[in-house]
């Protein structure tokens, strides 16, 4: 298989550090229950914060990896995030390679006004705005900060037939975070990747999506060979 050129580190030194880091993770993680497709994503999440508990805490819908690859390789899809941090963290050249665009609405004035009027959260109203704009169907949705965004997304899936291509649902926190992720794990209509418990965060969502982009590029290059 040809080496990745878009989703790899840009310098030989950077690539060497990343390669060595992954080798250390593989050695220290030891046996695991993840598939050959799933492990690179879990490994990149461990790499993002040096926490080996994600070997075991990370959970996949059976169709998650296939759905993620298909969405990325088809290209020209939105990535809808609960917070700007995810959009900023994703590599622009990697997204451009696949024609992917990022969207977040949590700081929009109308979202803030509606949250105040309804005594709800900005995260809830941001998901509703994404739905009204038609951005959720076929999208990769990344939620790393706001449990209420994930709870609202599940409601939209079940009550309004919203169909993202993949949900990367990893909100961090102490209020409703674990419960929101447990709720996502009950969803059968849409593929998802999530984490058990309180841990999570935007950094992990970015790591997971970058792993999908890297694996998709590798598959793309193999097909072209």
Q: Would you say residue 2 has pLDDT above 60? A: no
Rounded to two decimals, what is the model's pTM?
0.93
Q: State percent of the chain over pLDDT 90.
A: 87
Q: How confident is the model at residue 7 (pLDDT cuts 50, 70, 90)?
A: low
Q: Which of 2, 47, 61, 160 is catalytic?
A: 47
The predicted model gives 192-197 an average pLDDT of 98
Q: Would you say residue 1 has pLDDT above 60? A: no
Q: Is 173 left (phi over 0), alpha (psi -120 to 50) or beta?
A: left
Q: State the architecture of 12-224 in CATH terms.
A: 3-Layer(aba) Sandwich (3.40)
Domain extent listing, the chain: 12-224
Let me know if 47 is a catalytic residue: yes
Q: Would you say residue 221 has pLDDT above 90? A: no
Starting at the earlier edge strand, list the strands of the sheet with 192-195.
58-60, 192-195, 166-169, 140-143, 78-81, 101-103
What pLDDT does residue 5 have? 67
């Amino acid at each position: 298989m040809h080496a990745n050129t878009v989703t790899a580190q840009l310098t030989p030194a950077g690539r060497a550090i990343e390669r060595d880091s992954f080798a250390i993770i593989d050695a220290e993680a030891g046996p695991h229950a993840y598939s050959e497709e799933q492990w690179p994503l879990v490994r990149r999440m461990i790499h993002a914060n040096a926490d080996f508990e994600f070997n075991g805490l990370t959970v996949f819908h059976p169709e998650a990896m296939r759905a993620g690859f298909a969405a990325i390789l088809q290209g020209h899809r939105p990535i809808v995030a609960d917070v700007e941090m995810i959009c900023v963290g994703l590599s622009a050249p990697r997204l451009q390679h696949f024609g992917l665009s990022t969207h977040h609405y949590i700081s929009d004035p109308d979202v803030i006004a509606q949250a105040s009027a309804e005594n709800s959260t900005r995260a809830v109203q941001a998901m509703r705005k994404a739905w009204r704009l038609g951005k959720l169907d076929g999208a990769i949705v990344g939620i790393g900060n706001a449990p209420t965004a994930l709870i609202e997304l599940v409601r939209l899936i079940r009550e309004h037939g919203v169909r993202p291509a993949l949900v990367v649902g990893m909100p961090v926190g102490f209020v409703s975070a674990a419960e929101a992720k447990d709720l996502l794990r009950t969803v059968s209509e849409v593929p998802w990747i999530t984490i058990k418990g309180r841990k999570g965060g935007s950094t992990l969502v970015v790591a997971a999506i970058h792993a999908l982009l890297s694996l998709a590029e590798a598959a793309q290059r193999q097909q072209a060979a």
